[in-house]
Amino acid sequence: YADSDAASRAIAHEIAGIIRQKSIEGKPAVLGLATGSSPKKVYAELIRMHREEGLSFQNVVTYNLDEYYPMQPDSVQSYVRFMREQLFDHVDIPSGNWHLPDGTLPLEKLGEFCKDYEAQIERYGGLDFQLLGIGRNGHIGFNEPGSLINSRTRLMTLDLTTQIDAAGDFGGLAKVSKKAITMGVQKIMEAKRVVLLAWGEHKATNVARAVEGSVSSDVPASYLQLHENASFVIDTSAASQLT
């Protein structure tokens, strides 16, 4: 796409199509969602469609990719807060239908929580659609380089690059969360449809490594080459390193 506006609108329309189709079938639309700068315009367009075109989120169930750990939901950096501000509080999604990894749990309860997070998705029959961004180190969710293709939902230590990129939000590198709970690569790969968004020249190297490089844990986004229905939706700057 020439720019992220047109691209974001197209993806929002694809998501709306899934929501409407599932609603006709009387089924939930199960969406895997991402935070960060990349999906913001997609959420804005979904809100616009809710307001202006009557798109209803009553049948939508969401599971976000990740949350910092530890993290209180009302903190400025919390992904719960991000999702409420960017989407949930502006549409008619029932409050019990959205889910994020719980950054408030004691460490000893995390293992059980992560298993249950995946079990819930499985009970819905898996994710109908997974939205992703890509980190400067090629991560998807917070599956940092080294993450295996069969990795499960778990607590991860964040790479230094990821911490540096989050420093602005936390008011300095020293204050950045060193850990996060992330959905594993396996659940992402099991989604029926995956769309990775990338805008800007700073994403170009990793987009090229993910799309044209070898499939490797060094660049977790490269696993998507093995997915049957995954697309990289990018602007011309993010595409500038593709051969």
Annotated catalytic residues are 144
Binding span for ligand F6R by CB under 6 A among 10-18, 44-52, 137-145, 207-215:
137-145
Closer residue to ligand F6R (CB): 59 or 191:
191
Write down the least CB distance from residue 54 to ligand F6R, Å: 28
Binding span for ligand F6R by CB under 6 A among 51-59, 87-95, 127-135, 225-233:
127-135
Q: Which of residues 52-81 bind ligand F6R (CB under 6 A)?
A: 65-66
Among 135, 138, 184, 220, binds ligand F6R (CB under 6 A): 135
Among 28, 141, 184, 220, binds ligand F6R (CB under 6 A): 141
Among 139, 154, 193, 209, binds ligand F6R (CB under 6 A): 139
Contact call for residue 204 and ligand F6R (CB under 6 A): no
Closer residue to ligand F6R (CB): 35 or 177:
35
Question: How many residues form the binding site for ligand F6R (CB under 6 A)?
Answer: 14
Instruction: For the chain, give the DSSP string.
Output: --SHHHHHHHHHHHHHHHHHHHHHTT--EEEEE--SSTTHHHHHHHHHHHHHH----TTEEEEESEEEES--TTSTT-HHHHHHHHTGGGS---GGGEE---TTS-GGGHHHHHHHHHHHHHHTTS-SEEEE---TTS-BTTB-TT--TT--SEEEEPPHHHHHHHHHHHTSGGGS-SEEEE--HHHHHHSS-EEEEE-SGGGHHHHHHHHHS--BTTBGGGGGGG-TTEEEEE-TTTTTT--
Contact call for residue 34 and ligand F6R (CB under 6 A): yes
Q: Which of residues 35-54 bind ligand F6R (CB under 6 A)?
A: 35-38
Q: Tell me the C-alpha distance between 241 and 230, whole Å.
A: 20
Write down the least CB distance from residue 36 to ligand F6R, Å: 3
Write down the least CB distance from residue 184 to ligand F6R, Å: 12
Contact call for residue 185 and ligand F6R (CB under 6 A): no
Report the interface residues with ligand F6R, using CB under 6 A: 34-38, 65-66, 133-135, 139-142
